[in-house]
Amino acid sequence: MRHLLYLVLLLCFCFGFSQDGDAPKNYTLDVSQFNGSILLHNPDISHLITNHPGGIIVGFNRKRFGHEDWEADLGYPDTGFSFVYQDMNNETLGKHFGLYAHYNFYFFKRNLQFRVAQGVSYNTNPYDRTENFRNNAYGSHLLSSTMVMFNYHKENIVAGLGFKAGISLLHYSNANFKAPNTSTNTMAFNFGLTYDLNKDESIEYLVPETKEKIKEPIRYNLVLRGGANESDVINMGRYGFAIVSAYADKRLGNRSAIQLGTDVFFSNFLKELIRYQSISFPELEVAPDTDYKRVGLFVGHELFVNKLSVVAQLGYYVYYPFDFEGRMYNRIGLKRYFGDKVFGAITLKSHGAKAEAIEFGIGVRL
Q: Kindly tell me the burial class for residue 289, based on how many C-beta atoms sit within 10 Å of its own C-beta (0-12, 13-18, 19 or more).
A: exposed
Going residue by residue through the chain, which has 366 residues, state the pLDDT in tens, using 9 for 90 and above.
Answer: 344 444 444 444 444 444 455 677 899 999 999 999 999 988 889 999 999 999 999 999 999 988 888 888 889 999 999 999 999 999 999 999 999 999 999 999 999 999 999 999 999 999 999 999 999 999 999 999 999 999 999 998 999 999 999 999 999 998 888 889 899 999 999 999 999 998 878 888 888 777 777 788 999 999 999 999 998 888 888 999 999 999 999 999 888 999 999 999 999 999 999 999 999 999 999 999 999 999 999 999 999 988 889 999 999 999 999 999 999 999 999 999 999 899 999 999 999 878 899 999 999 999
- CA 92 and chain centroid, separation: 25
Could you tell me if 25 and 62 are in contact, meaning their C-beta atoms sit under 8 angstroms apart?
yes
Distance in angstroms (rounded) separating the CA atoms of residues 362 and 157: 47
CA distance 215 to 231: 44
Closest to 93 (Cα-Cα) out of 144, 63, 60, 134: 134
Q: Are 348 and 359 in contact (CB under 8 A)?
A: yes
Full set of structural domains in the chain with CATH: 2-6+18-196 (2.40.160.20), 219-365 (2.40.160)
The count of C-alpha atoms lying within 13 angstroms of the C-alpha of 359, restricted to the half-sphere facing its C-beta, is 31
Q: What is the pTM of this model?
A: 0.86
